[in-house]
Amino acid sequence: MNAPDAVKAAREILAGKTPMKGDCGRICGAVCCSPDETGKGGMLLFPGEEGLYDPLPEGFCILPDDSVILGGYLLTCEGYCDRELRPLSCMFFPLRPTFKGDVRIDRRGLSTCPLAEYGVNGLDSEYVKAAREAANVLASCDEIKEYLRALGAHIKRVQEASRF
């Protein structure tokens, strides 16, 4: 399976699934959809996902971002979008898929997402099941598997650098 097809399949699996029953954005004021203190923010796109945004919906912007992989992209928005337009990273949050085809709490969300502190077991079980299935699909694509490996290493580097 190529990267765009794997991303589409993962998005279909996660469609309509959320970390909790109800709108979790009401708990935190949709902090994951808000720009940071510098006015920037966004979600990294999975390899091939940028092609799903042609034409680009109003309020979205895709920027080059080499922080994880060369030739990567970051999608920014104005803070609200239709669920079916959300990037895969948003659909997974506060989880992140691993290159082994599983999910774990995205440690970057520990400071912003109240749900993250409860761990995977604190999230809706149907959502976690769908996220694991979607992660398994993504990890079956070599290009995305390498991206997920690089993403895990990137997160680890950022966290180690922030300890000082």
Locate the domains of the chain by residue range.
Answer: 3-162
Q: Which two tokens stand for residue 150?
A: 């690089």
| C-alpha closest to that of 53 among 8, 114, 98, 119 | 8
Identify whether the C-beta of residue 55 lies closer than 8 Å to the C-beta of residue 64: no
Say what the pLDDT of residue 159 is: 76
Is residue 114 predicted with pLDDT exceeding 60? yes
| Residue range 122-162, pLDDT digits in tens | 888 999 999 999 999 999 999 999 999 999 988 888 777 77
| pTM listed for this prediction | 0.86
Beta strands in 22-160, from DSSP E residues, in sequence order = 43-44, 61-64, 73-76, 95-97, 103-105
pLDDT tier, 19 (very low <50, low <70, confident <90, very high otherwise): confident
